Amino acid sequence: MRARPVILHLDLDAFFTAVEQLHKPSLRGKPVVVGGVGGRGVVSTASYEARVFGVRSAMPTADARRRCPNAAYLGPRFEAYRHCSVQVMDLAREVTPLLEQVSIDEAYLDLTPAHPSPTVDEVTALAEDLRTAIRERTGLTASIGAGTSKLVAKIHSDLAKPDGFALVPPGEEAATLAPMSVRAIPGVGPATAARLAAHGVSTVGRLAEIGADECVALLGRAHGTQLHAFALGVDPREVVTERAAKSVSAETTFPTDVTDRGRLGGHVSRLTERVTDRLRTDGLSGRTVVLKARRHDFSTLTRSTTLDQPTDDPVVVRRHADRLLAALDVSDGLRLVGVGVSGLSLYTQPDLLDGLLDDVLPAPAPEPDEDDEEFARPDAGEVTTEENGSTVLVEAVPEPTGPRWRPGQDVAHSEHGLGWVQGSGVGRVTVRFEGPHTPPGRIRTFPEDDPDLAPAPPPEWSPLVDDGPAADGLSGGGGSLDG
């Protein structure tokens, strides 16, 4: 049996908004919210300045705007976030190769390979050196938790936020967790917490006391067993560098509910395209096609079919998704549709039987497809593809073109240079001209279709450039995210 490892949990602070403040000097020290900016958008990340007003992740953006009208509301720029994430993870892998990235801004590090049994002081030095390297090389702040398991590391990176470090010495796990709320345990959400509360359990220590059997009776076999072990500070989960994907999916929420089957079919088509594109990029095929629908009352339905052979063919996936949609009652309107493929494997097999079935159950005829005002689409053409020897007519599926300019978007102007979209509407777009290493920039407004204005790639923050005191909200001690 393996000795207890030392595990770090690395978590970037308010990651999306931190990148925005890094790239947009005028937003440093100000409330910033990244998320959906449309009527049904929700908050992905609120900067610490916005959290003061009660803005939180997963809150409807409309609610956030009421609480904090003066914040900058920006759509996400995933390309920029991914780039920063890669830089951070590369720095972390210099500490240990045994790194498990769990999301764009989070990773577990097992120190064992390079440091088999480090002292508390050594772990502290490694973690603080990594935090310093991340700040100096990327301009971002990270929090780190350390302990003998993923559980205590994760809980303590959270407690260390923002821009901090927290360590639980070996042997002190259970005592450290005991006074905490059960909600501190990852996996205990509102429903589980309510169940436990109904039985008088609100702290981790109390959860440990009630015993495994009662835990299982309350929460089910798997969840109950694991949660009781967690409450005792026991977590045997290992850090693994790679994990195989189990499913690939895409979904979209409409600005207003949709009842028209033709339009729903058009969306299913585009979603299918996105899913199969990603399957093919990753060299994956899947046997189960899943259609997801959310109704006007927010209830969610899923319908699935499992094929004899795995597929990555958009024609095949779309045909099954269409059939699943056709069997659904949409008369009350849907607010969301999604398409997914699961039961993934690494290879593709020709879909012979599926082609035969197609002759018996023809796909519904494509209906005319108009679109919501917010997603006006260019004219759809038609293409034909060869499938199993017969020619099938397939509706061409152009991506919906969103509004031309999105808040936060990077742009270049032929005369004024690089900047970002502050807002747009009524035929105009407002741009602030600044970059990571300029002072806060000036605002100019242009016609929406100004030929001198074009989308631009994300800017890059570089440690080699000195911003100078005027624009420098980031260097030095705490960074821009405190408070």
301 binds DNA (CB under 7 A): yes
Closest CB 125 distance from DNA, rounded Å: 26
Interaction between residue 63 and DNA (CB under 7 A): yes
Residue 298 sits in the site that holds DNA (CB under 7 A): yes
172, 214, 238, 251: which one contacts DNA (CB under 7 A)? 251
**Which residue, chain included where needed, has tokens 């009842």?**
259
Cα 46 from Cα 59, distance rounded (Å): 10
Told to check if 258 binds DNA by CB under 7 A, we report no
Q: Which residues make beta-bridge pairs with 46?
A: 33
Chain residues 418-437 in contact with DNA, contact rule CB under 7 A? none
Residue with tokens 């293409």: 383
Contacts of 435 (CB under 8 A, 6+ apart): 23, 25, 418, 419, 441, 459
Question: By C-beta, is 71 or 431 nearer to DNA?
Answer: 71
Sequence-distant (6+) residues with CB within 8 A of 388 are: 351, 352, 355, 358
252 binding DNA? (CB under 7 A): yes
Binding-site residues for Mg(2+) sit at 11, 105
189 binding DNA? (CB under 7 A): yes
Residue 194 beta carbon to DNA: minimum distance, rounded to whole angstroms = 8
* Given the residues 49, 106, 273, 434, the one annotated as active site: 106
Distance CA(408)–CA(139), nearest Å, equals 19
Cβ-based neighbour number of residue 102 at 10 Å: 15
Q: How far is the CB of 369 from DNA (least distance, A)?
A: 18
Binding-site size for DNA (CB under 7 A) equals: 58
333 binds DNA (CB under 7 A): no
Question: Which tokens belong to 61?
Answer: 């953006």
Q: Which stretch binds DNA (CB under 7 A): 99-107, 197-205, 386-394, 465-473?
A: 99-107
Identity of residue 423: G
Q: Which is nearer to DNA, 343 or 364 (CB)?
A: 343
Nearest to 48 by CA among 63, 68, 65, 66: 68
Residue 66 touches DNA, criterion: CB under 7 A? yes
Which range touches DNA (CB under 7 A), out of 104-112, 123-131, 204-212, 471-479?
104-112
**What is the DSSP annotation of 45-88?**
EE-HHHHTTT--TTSBHHHHHHH-TTSEEE---HHHHHHHHHHH
CA atoms in the 13 A half-sphere facing the CB of 152:
28
Does position 438 interact with DNA (CB under 7 A)? The reply is no
Residue 105 to residue 59: CA distance in whole angstroms: 20
CA–CA distance, 319 with 359 (Å, rounded to integer):
12
Residue ranges for the known binding site are 11, 105
In degrees, rounded to 5, the angle at the alpha carbon of residue 475 between the alpha carbons of residues 469 and 478 is 125
H-helix or E-strand containing 108? strand 106-110
Q: How far is the CB of 299 from DNA (least distance, A)?
A: 6
Q: Considering only residues 6 through 45, tell me which ones interact with DNA, judged by CB under 7 A.
A: 36, 39-42, 44
Applying CB under 7 A, does 203 fall inside the site for DNA?
A: no
- Of the pair 342, 430, the CB lying nearest DNA is at 342
- Which residue number, 41 or 459, has a Cβ lying nearer to DNA? 41
330 binds DNA (CB under 7 A): no
Q: Does 186 bind DNA (CB under 7 A)?
A: yes
415: annotated active-site residue: no
CA distances from 433 to 182, 406, 417 (A): 47, 15, 7
Report if residue 188 touches DNA, rule: CB under 7 A.
Answer: yes
Nearest CB to DNA, comparing residues 302 and 445: 302
| 57 near DNA, judged by CB under 7 A | yes
- Active site (catalytic) residues: 106
Q: Note the residues at the interface with DNA (CB under 7 A).
A: 36, 39-42, 44, 57-58, 60, 62-63, 66, 102-106, 154, 186-193, 220-223, 245-253, 274, 278, 287-288, 298-306, 335-336, 338, 340, 342-343
